[in-house]
Every structure is written in C-alpha cells, then in structure tokens.
C-alpha cells in the first residue's frame, strides 16, 4: 500500500452545540510516523475535535480524513477498526484487575473450551513491553501499580488491539518529571516505528520537545499550525490566549511569624482500600504562608488533605487547627473553624454540576444567617450575596440560577474558589486548583490565591504542576511513598531537585 500523506486529519470540520460554535472549520493533518501536538485553552474545541476523530461525535460540516480519504466514523469501534485509539485523561483501567488482565480485556486470547490462554497473553504482553522499552510486573493489580506504569499500560493496550494512531489526552498530567521524560521517549520510539500520535497537552515545553508539528486552537478555530522550530513557549501561549500572558510569581521566603493555623503531628493514614499511604508526617502551616506539596500521584497527598479537611479519619496522629485538636471534628466543624477546601475532583466533589450556580456558592453556609431565617432559605438575600461573590471572583455567567455545568471549566473552578474564599477561611487546602483550566484562567486563579495569602490566609497547595508550586509556594514539601522526602525553600530550589525527591532520590 502506498504511504498516505495524511494518516489522520480533519477537513473544514465544524460542530455546533446550540448557538455555540465548538469547532469552526478546523483543518488538521498528521502525516504517518509523526507526532502532532494539539494545544488550546478551555473551550478552544480540543475535546470536541478529539471526540469527532474518535467517532464519538459527528461533524455538522466537513469530514474526518483517514489515509487521505474523507470518512465518516460512526462510533469508536469504527475508528478502532481503522487503527485509531485514544488514551483518555482519566485512566480507564479496571482497578481490581491485574495489568495483564487489563491489557487483554475485551480481546482475550482463548484456548480450546473458551478458557483464557494466559501463557499466550503474557507472551504478547512481554513482546509489547519490550517494544516499548519498559519493565512491567504484569501480575500487579492496577490499583497498586505506580501511576506511570498504569499510563504505559493504557498505551500498550491500544497497541495490543492493533491501533497505529494514538490520541493522547494530557498524558503527562500526573507524572513526575523523570517519568514524563520516559513517556516522551516512548512516544518518540513509537513514532519512529511508524505510528502516528496526536498529543493533546497544555504543557507547552513537552509539546515543543516531542512534537513534529503543532496545531493551536482558540475559540473553535485553528489560529496557527506551526512547528517547534518556528515557535517558542511564549509564542504558543500568546497564540492560545490571543494576547501575551503574564503569570504572577512571588518571592518565596520563610514565614515563621504567627502560630500555625494547621498542624499535622505523626499523621498516618490509609486510603479507601486500607493501604497505608501516609506514614508519620509532621507539618506546620502558618498564616500568610503557602506550602506546596509535591509528589507523584498516590504518594499520600490525597490522604493528607482528607485528614485535614475531615473526609477520612487518620489511622494515627493528630490534626490541630490553631493549636486545638481537630482530629475527631466533623467536616462542618472544621469548616467553621476556618478550613477551606478546593477539591481536585471538580466534577464530583468540588461542585454539584446539575445544581444552580448560586446553590453551589451558598452550599454549606445555607443554614447560617443571613441566608436562612426562621427555618426558611431567603432566595433574594442569597441571590444578592452570590452576585457579589461571583463578581469579585470574576465568574462569567449568564444567570445565577443556571446549572453550574453550563459554565466552562475555568469558570467552574472560579465558582469553587469563590465559595471557599468568600467564607473567609483561615487556611485553604487547594488540591490541583488549576487542573483543566486554561492559561488565562490559571493566571487569574494564581492571583486570587496570592491575594488571599497576602491578607493572612494560609494555603496548603497540592499540585502536580511543579511550575505552579515554584511560582506560588514559599516552601515545597515533597512526598515520596507517604513520607516527607525533603523540603525545598528559598530561591535556590530547582525543578530538577523536586523531580529527584519525587522518585525517591536525594535532592
């Protein structure tokens, strides 16, 4: 077969949702054996375009191009039959199955009698792992496997099923720098073998380092199709936002004045499966201080915040709020004592998506004056107050009774921050506060966090974005396997140092 010029692409793809033009005449072309980056902010149309390329959605106008020919992809199975597979941002592995079982799920090799042929499966798995240049214990249960191995298995699963076009949505979001390098190396190897990769990311340095070409989307249109040789990070960011972006940054310094707002003493905690994730951790968080928590996903961050916020009782140790033992307090008592919480899981914990914007802002305080009186809610008072808060936190919305899911990701996150900061907490536990938020939104949220800190608020910032920690935190505590691997403060800290601590090496 003659090699096509375009392995996968789009020609004048337009997709409307009601009055919203999600994709507006998008052209995209990825030659076989290349990596094409797709970047853009929230609402730029990346997700819609990827859904179309994967057969989950159909364009209103224009067509998908596969092997130089216009095609109509009826569903994901149709796309897969043409060799197109996707790794989603949220991992799709079955938690209780082993990595091997996850690999072959849905296409199991069988012996006579319909029994799964484990030997054949394992042989194939090893062949794929060798091809990818990774070492894997295939008998690990997925939930126990380190996050970067799960990521690799997601990719190998596509290869196992015969895909040679890989669509990767934010594949490096949860990895440590070293693991990111390994993953990018894997992608380059796959490309050199002739596979075609669409790499969706907002980490522009990674895009520039691994991609052969970059397509920039903004407001549903292609605003540029360029190459790493022609563009740098600042140029890409400007293309994405439409104007130069400036990130707030503050000079870190040790803040020792003031009694700690939140203290952890010998904190040991287990996850929902009973696995110990946090071992004997001590930490103090003082007023006006931003403490960053870094670590590979699953290093104990979730358990630390659960213990502080009150989502789960720790196994041992104490949580103190302003010096008073709060280990046994309820969530609402801790909130009353001044703890705010920005959840990493905006869709399932940070917001109630079908509920109105005002309901989301007032939730948790709806029983307190002035929002309720004589046992009844006071909608006019609530509306007035919510309007003020939404205005102060720059939320763009149509009507405060609209469901919060009608907002863009960045605006949804602003609603979360509005709710939490409007309560005037003393300490804010912020987990991945800018996840899924575009560059302009990130800068805005960073300014809000810094503003809160300037007025004396303490912030525990748990983030996978090391740049975010570097820009905002006074000191960065790195967790490795549930223990504090090290702490970096002052101007001399480096990304490389954090990266080494994250995988258990000395800084």
Partner 1 sequence: MTLAAPGVLRPDWGTAVAAALPFVVALAVGAVLLAATGRNPIDVYALMAREGFGGANRIAATLTAATPILFTAVATAVSFRAGIFNVGVEGAFYLGGLAGAVVGFTLVSWPSPLLIPAELAAGALFGGMWLTLPGILRAWLEVDEVVSTLMLNFVAINLTLLLVNGPFLAPGSANSATPMIATAGWLPRLLPPTTLTLGFFIALAVLVLYFVWERLTPLGFEARLNGLNPRFSRAVGIDVRGLILKTMALSGMIGGLAGSAHALGVTHRFVVGFSPGYGWTGLAVALMGRNSAIGMLIGAIVFGALASAGTTVQLFSDIPLEIVDVLQGVVTIFAVVRFARIRKRPGRA
Q: Which of 356, 394, 483, 507 binds partner 1 (CB under 8 A)?
A: 356
Q: Which of 6, 30, 47, 169 binds partner 1 (CB under 8 A)?
A: 47
For partner 1, the closer of residues 183 and 306 by Cβ is 306
Q: Which of 10, 13, 22, 129 binds partner 1 (CB under 8 A)?
A: 22
Q: Does 75 bind partner 1 (CB under 8 A)?
A: no
Q: Which of these, 46, 156, 479, lies nearest to 303 by C-alpha position?
A: 479
For partner 1, the closer of residues 249 and 348 by Cβ is 348
Please give the structure tokens belonging to residue 141: 């249960």
**Cis-peptide, bond into residue 370, ω within 30° of zero:** yes
Q: Which of these, 365, 357, 434, lies nearest to 390 by C-alpha position?
A: 357
Judged on CB neighbours under 10 Å (0-12, 13-18, 19+), 58 is middle
Q: Does 329 bind partner 1 (CB under 8 A)?
A: no
Q: Which of 108, 117, 349, 487 binds partner 1 (CB under 8 A)?
A: 349
Q: Does 44 bind partner 1 (CB under 8 A)?
A: yes
What part of residues 309-328 is at the interface with partner 1 (CB under 8 A)? 309, 311
List all residues 6 or more positions away from 219 whose beta carbon is below 8 Å from its beta carbon.
24, 43, 44, 45
Q: Does 461 bind partner 1 (CB under 8 A)?
A: no
The DSSP string of 380-443 is HHHHHHHHHHHHHTT---S-TTSBGGGS-HHHHHHHHHHHHHHT--SEEEEESTTTT--HHHHH
- Scan for tokens 């919305």, then name that residue: 397
The interface region with partner 1, picked from 171-179, 185-193, 271-279, 351-359 by CB under 8 A, is 351-359
* Helix (H) or strand (E) segment spanning residue 84: strand 84-87
Q: Which of 61, 355, 384, 451 binds partner 1 (CB under 8 A)?
A: 355
The interface region with partner 1, picked from 61-69, 226-234, 287-295, 364-372 by CB under 8 A, is 364-372
Q: Does 259 bind partner 1 (CB under 8 A)?
A: no
The least distance separating partner 1 from the CB of residue 268, rounded to whole angstroms, comes to: 23
Q: Which of 138, 160, 199, 341 binds partner 1 (CB under 8 A)?
A: 341
Q: Which of 249, 366, 447, 454 binds partner 1 (CB under 8 A)?
A: 366
For partner 1, the closer of residues 44 and 237 by Cβ is 44
For partner 1, the closer of residues 38 and 149 by Cβ is 38
The least distance separating partner 1 from the CB of residue 351, rounded to whole angstroms, comes to: 7
Distance CA(146)–CA(151), nearest Å, equals 9
For partner 1, the closer of residues 54 and 102 by Cβ is 54
Cβ–Cβ < 8 Å for 114, 107? no
Residues binding partner 1: what is the number (CB under 8 A)? 49
* Helix (H) or strand (E) segment spanning residue 222: strand 221-226
The interface region with partner 1, picked from 103-111, 117-125, 252-260, 329-337 by CB under 8 A, is 329-337
The least distance separating partner 1 from the CB of residue 79, rounded to whole angstroms, comes to: 16
For partner 1, the closer of residues 242 and 379 by Cβ is 379
What part of residues 371-430 is at the interface with partner 1 (CB under 8 A)? 372, 375-377, 379, 401-403, 408, 419
Q: Which of 330, 424, 455, 494 binds partner 1 (CB under 8 A)?
A: 330
For partner 1, the closer of residues 95 and 332 by Cβ is 332
Q: Which of 82, 150, 286, 335 binds partner 1 (CB under 8 A)?
A: 335
The least distance separating partner 1 from the CB of residue 348, rounded to whole angstroms, comes to: 5
Q: Which of 4, 11, 51, 318 binds partner 1 (CB under 8 A)?
A: 51
Cβ–Cβ < 8 Å for 326, 263? no
The interface region with partner 1, picked from 37-45, 62-70, 161-169, 272-280 by CB under 8 A, is 37-45
Nearest-5° angle of CA 333, CA 335, CA 338?
110
Q: Does 48 bind partner 1 (CB under 8 A)?
A: yes
| Cα distances (Å, whole numbers) of residue 198 to 131, 141, 242, 279, 399 | 20, 29, 23, 40, 37
| Cα distances (Å, whole numbers) of residue 170 to 40, 174, 405 | 12, 9, 22
The least distance separating partner 1 from the CB of residue 420, rounded to whole angstroms, comes to: 9
Q: Which of 220, 317, 410, 486 binds partner 1 (CB under 8 A)?
A: 220
Backbone angles phi, psi at 222, to 5 degrees: -80, 120
Distance CA(23)–CA(51), nearest Å, equals 11
The least distance separating partner 1 from the CB of residue 134, rounded to whole angstroms, comes to: 32
Residue 192 DSSP SS3 = helix
Q: Does 470 bind partner 1 (CB under 8 A)?
A: no
| Cα distances (Å, whole numbers) of residue 162 to 80, 111, 383 | 8, 21, 54
Distance CA(362)–CA(346), nearest Å, equals 16
The DSSP string of 120-189 is HHHHHHHHHHHHHT----TTSBGGGS-HHHHHHHHHHHHHHTT--EEEEESTTTT--HHHHHHHHHHHHH
Q: Does 215 bind partner 1 (CB under 8 A)?
A: no
Q: Does 436 bind partner 1 (CB under 8 A)?
A: no
Task: Give residues in contact with partner 1 (CB under 8 A).
Answer: 15, 17, 20, 22, 42-45, 47-48, 51, 56-57, 220, 309, 311, 330-332, 334-336, 341, 343, 345, 348-356, 359, 363-364, 366-367, 372, 375-377, 379, 401-403, 408, 419
């Amino acid at each position: 077969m003659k090699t096509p010029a375009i392995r996968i692409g789009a020609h004048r793809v337009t997709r409307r949702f009601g009055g919203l033009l999600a994709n507006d005449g998008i052209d995209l072309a990825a030659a076989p054996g290349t990596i094409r980056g797709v970047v853009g902010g929230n609402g730029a149309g990346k997700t819609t375009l990827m859904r179309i390329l994967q057969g989950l959605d159909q364009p209103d106008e224009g067509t998908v191009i596969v092997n130089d020919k216009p095609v109509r992809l009826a569903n994901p199975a149709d796309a897969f039959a043409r060799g197109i597979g996707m790794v989603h941002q949220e991992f799709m592995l079955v938690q209780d199955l082993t990595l091997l079982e996850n690999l072959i799920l849905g296409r199991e090799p069988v012996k006579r009698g319909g029994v799964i042929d484990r030997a054949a499966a394992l042989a194939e798995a090893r062949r794929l792992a060798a091809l990818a240049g990774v070492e894997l214990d295939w008998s690990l249960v997925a939930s126990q496997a380190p996050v970067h191995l799960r990521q690799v298995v997601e990719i190998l699963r596509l290869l196992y099923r015969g895909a040679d076009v890989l669509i990767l949505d934010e594949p490096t979001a949860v990895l440590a720098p070293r693991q990111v390098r390994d993953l990018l190396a894997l992608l380059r190897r796959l490309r050199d073998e002739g596979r075609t990769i669409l790499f969706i990311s907002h980490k522009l340095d990674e895009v520039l380092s691994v991609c052969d070409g970059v397509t920039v989307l903004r407001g549903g249109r292609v605003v540029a199709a360029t190459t790493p040789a022609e563009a740098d990070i600042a140029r890409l960011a400007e293309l994405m936002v439409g104007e130069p972006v400036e990130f707030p940054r503050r000079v870190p310094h040790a803040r020792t004045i003031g009694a700690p707002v939140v203290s952890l003493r010998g904190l040991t905690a287990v996850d929902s499966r009973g696995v110990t994730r946090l071992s004997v951790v001590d930490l103090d968080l003082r007023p006006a201080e931003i403490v960053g928590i870094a670590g590979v996903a699953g290093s104990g961050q979730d358990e630390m915040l659960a213990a502080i916020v009150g989502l789960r009782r720790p196994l041992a140790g104490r949580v103190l709020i302003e010096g008073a033992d709060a280990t046994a307090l309820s969530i609402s008592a801790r909130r009353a004592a001044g703890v705010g919480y920005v959840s990493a899981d905006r869709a399932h914990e940070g917001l109630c998506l079908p509920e109105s914007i005002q309901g989301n802002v007032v939730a948790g305080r709806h029983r307190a004056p002035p929002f309720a009186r004589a046992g009844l809610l006071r909608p006019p008072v609530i509306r007035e107050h919510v309007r003020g808060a939404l205005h102060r936190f720059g939320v763009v919305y149509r009507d405060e009774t609209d469901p919060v899911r009608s907002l863009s990701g960045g605006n949804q996150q602003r609603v979360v921050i509005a709710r939490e900061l409007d309560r005037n907490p003393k300490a804010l536990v912020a987990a991945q506060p800018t996840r899924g938020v575009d560059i302009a939104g990130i800068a805005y949220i960073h300014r809000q966090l810094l503003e809160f800190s300037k007025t004396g608020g303490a912030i525990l910032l748990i983030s996978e974005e090391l740049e975010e920690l570097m820009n905002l935190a006074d000191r960065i505590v790195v967790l490795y396997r549930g223990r504090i691997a090290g702490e970096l403060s002052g101007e001399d800290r480096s990304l490389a140092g954090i990266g080494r601590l994250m995988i258990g090496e000395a800084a």
